[in-house]
């Protein structure tokens, strides 16, 4: 057995060697294979070899392999207990960065993540035209979007999927700041939904008329301007425009 290679690799190599010998009409019984495996063990498994030889009447490769795995775990635990602190960091190439307690701004990873959230919040607030009072909702939605975004560190899986062991549902995603409709009563003469927005001059504009006194009233008011779609009617994509003539430079 090669001491520079882990135990599982050595056991796999031994099983492959046994299969190759069996294919070459060199058949060995399980007991002979077990004896060969015990003789090629390094000195670190010497006590396991002595215990198996004197305590077992019948030997199999599975019994020897399980005993070797248990001994290997004990050796690994002893090595970890002997290597602590800076020695463990050097062994696994861990770079420690000490910061003052309760100061996440000194943590570079947390600072980059907060910066990413702020970038998303700033873009969402500018595109929606909502006032600053909605910044809390924007941060919450931005964090939700980050958790639903696949990460290369997680093998292209999302944080939501790793935490809940189920794929994320993207059907509930909507544009931040879009119009929301409140459900009304299901009476036939009345509309099924109603939308109310508040303009800049603090005058509420309702798309539908108010229902009668018997139906329940819903009031949803937000301090953001009414979306104006007049500029989108004459909007034209760049691919649909006439290609301009490019003139050559004349010197």
**Better-predicted residue by pLDDT, 196 or 126:** 126
Q: Which domain-ending residue is among 47, 67, 91?
A: 91
Number of domains the chain is built from: 3
Please state, in angstroms and rounded to a whole number, the distance separating the CA atoms of residues 113 and 117. Answer: 6
**Better-predicted residue by pLDDT, 213 or 75:** 75
Is position 16 within any domain? yes
The upper half-sphere exposure of residue 110, i.e. CA atoms within 13 Å in the direction of its Cβ, equals: 8
Each residue's pLDDT tens digit, 43-93: 667 666 666 666 666 667 677 777 777 777 777 776 666 556 666 677 667
Residues 190 and 126 in one domain: no
Residues 25 and 48 in one domain: yes
Is position 96 within any domain? no
Is position 32 within any domain? yes
Structural domain range at position 193: 179-251
Is position 170 within any domain? no
Tokens found for residue 203: 């005058």
Is position 248 within any domain? yes
Is position 43 within any domain? yes
Residues 127 and 84 in one domain: no
Residues 56 and 113 in one domain: no
Query: Which pTM does this prediction carry?
Result: 0.36
């Amino acid at each position: 057995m090669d001491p520079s290679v882990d135990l599982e690799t050595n056991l796999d190599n031994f099983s492959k060697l046994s299969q190759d010998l069996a294919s070459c009409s060199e058949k060995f019984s399980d007991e002979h294979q077990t004896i060969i495996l015990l003789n090629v063990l390094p000195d670190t498994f010497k006590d396991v070899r002595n215990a198996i030889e004197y305590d077992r009447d019948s030997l199999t490769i599975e019994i020897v392999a399980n005993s070797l795995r248990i001994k290997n775990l004990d050796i690994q635990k002893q090595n970890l207990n002997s290597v602590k602190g800076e020695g463990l960091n050097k062994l696994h190439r861990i770079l420690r960065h000490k910061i003052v307690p309760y100061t996440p701004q000194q943590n570079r990873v947390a600072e980059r993540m907060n910066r990413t959230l702020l970038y998303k919040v700033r873009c969402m607030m500018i595109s929606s035209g909502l006032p600053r009072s909605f910044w809390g909702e924007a941060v919450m939605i931005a964090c939700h979007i980050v958790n639903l975004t696949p990460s290369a560190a997680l093998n292209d899986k999302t944080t939501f999927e790793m935490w809940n062991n189920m794929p994320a549902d993207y059907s509930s995603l909507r544009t931040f700041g879009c119009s929301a409709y409140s459900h009304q009563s299901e009476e036939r003469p009345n509309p099924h939904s109603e939308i109310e927005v508040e303009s800049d001059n603090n005058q509420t504009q309702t798309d539908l008329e108010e229902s009668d006194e018997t139906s329940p009233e819903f009031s949803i008011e937000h301090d953001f301007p009414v979306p104006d779609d007049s500029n989108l009617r004459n909007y034209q994509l760049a691919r649909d425009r006439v290609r301009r003539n490019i003139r050559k430079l004349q010197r």
